[in-house]
Amino acid sequence: MKFKIIATDGHARQGVLEFDRGKIDTPAFMPVGTLGSVRSVDPDEVRGTGSQIVLGNTFHLMLRPGTQVINAHGTLHDFMGWPGPILTDSGGFQVWSLAKKKNISERGVKFQSPVDGASIFLDPESSIAVQKALGSDIVMCFDECTPYPATRKEAADSMQLSMRWAQRCRDSALGPEQVLFGIAQGGMYEDLRLESLESLERIGFDGYALGGLSVGEPKEDMNRVLELVAHKMPVGKPRYLMGVGKPEDLIFGVGAGIDMFDCVLPTRNARNGWLYTRSGIVRLKNAVNRLDSAAVDPTCDCLACQKFSRSYLRHLHVTGELLGPRLCTIHNLTFFQNLMADIRKAVKAGRFQVFAGEFLRNFRGQSSN
């Protein structure tokens, strides 16, 4: 991996990440392909939206179909037909959010599979081993996602456990072309976040991430932590904000110094008929769209906007036609990638704050239909 910062504007950065499988212009948004698929769209359609990297998940792929099946094809890239870079989440967040029964110890986490109820053990070494088998380009440390709310002691204990696990991840063998990102934890406590970041820097990683945000805390708390910590992450390494993806959050994150984002929001909302435009969110189910022959966004170059009307997309949505989620997903991913491209241009031109203000006024200023 090579990372080059091309331009800065305040804390905002514009750059490029390079892998053997391709380059990623930053700031970048990564579509989520949890099970080896960005739901309802194929890899060529994902790439057609401007996406350069996708995210897969260790937890889910370990359970189904398993690395034996994936390795029969080669790597996860071969299995899912995606030739570009892939980042794999470690599985720690899913253990926290999905496993109904879990037992966390120094060794790792024992939990019941949400698929069949089987008893499963996941620890730093096994998480890295699975990600090595998947062949992802960016491997994430196995960590414990600190819940919200948490007392200072709970947040400190959780963070310190994650730091010990981070060292074990760093000590585990990766594939020859894989890089490892560390994850800073510490809940809503600023001093714990900085302590976590210092611990990660001592261990040494190829990139650094902020985890444990957007887990139910007030937006003010998330932004406070982000504003404090992001620009203090190592300057010459990529900075990744995990699981945060509302358009206004992307703007704030870039302004704080973040380079990479991922979130299920654009694809999940697409399946629910919520489509993003620069003037707000269009809710297809609303009756106002039933006779509307205009495009969702006449300025958008995606397939849905170039060929179909709001009325037709609404029809697909309310009747459950499978074409609906596909077109809506293509639109939302295109919106997010176009937004990131405009952010990069604004940073390079030294007008990021001007662009951010204009975007937020338009996006927030219109009532959704």
d(C-alpha 209, C-alpha 182), whole Å: 6
- Give 356-360 contacts, CB < 8 A, sequence gap 24+: 356/251, 356/254, 356/255, 359/247, 359/251, 359/278, 360/248, 360/251
Contact call for residues 250 and 279 (beta carbons, < 8 A):
no
Model pLDDT, residue 92: 85
Clarify whether 89 is annotated catalytic: yes
Kindly state the DSSP code that residue 244 receives in the 8-state scheme. Answer: -
Model pLDDT, residue 368: 61
Model pLDDT, residue 263: 97
d(C-alpha 191, C-alpha 224), whole Å: 12
Residue recorded with tokens 């063998």? 173
Q: From the candidates 137, 262, 292, 297, which is the catalytic residue?
A: 262
Q: Is the dihedral of CA 68, 71, 76, 79 positive or negative?
A: negative
Which of the four CATH numbers 3.30.450.20, 3.20.20.105, 3.40.50.620, 3.40.50.150 does domain 2-263 have? 3.20.20.105
207-210 vs 119-122, strand pairing mode: unpaired
pTM for the complete prediction?
0.97
Query: Can you state the angle between helices 352-365 and 247-256, rounded to 10 degrees?
Result: 160
Averages of pLDDT over runs of 10 residues in the chain (369 residues) are 98 98 98 97 98 96 97 98 97 79 90 89 96 98 94 97 98 97 98 98 98 95 98 98 97 98 98 97 97 97 98 98 98 98 98 98 76
Instruction: Parse the chain into domains and list their residue ranges.
Output: 2-263, 270-363
Give the 3-state secondary structure of residue 76: helix
Model pLDDT, residue 114: 86
Clarify whether 262 is annotated catalytic: yes
Helices (H), the chain: 43-48, 58-63, 67-71, 76-80, 92-98, 124-134, 152-170, 190-203, 219-229, 247-256, 265-271, 303-307, 310-319, 323-349, 352-365
Give the 3-state secondary structure of residue 176: coil
Model pLDDT, residue 367: 56
d(C-alpha 213, C-alpha 217), whole Å: 7
Q: From the candidates 89, 137, 259, 297, which is the catalytic residue?
A: 89
Model pLDDT, residue 256: 98
Residue recorded with tokens 């990102």? 181
Model pLDDT, residue 48: 98
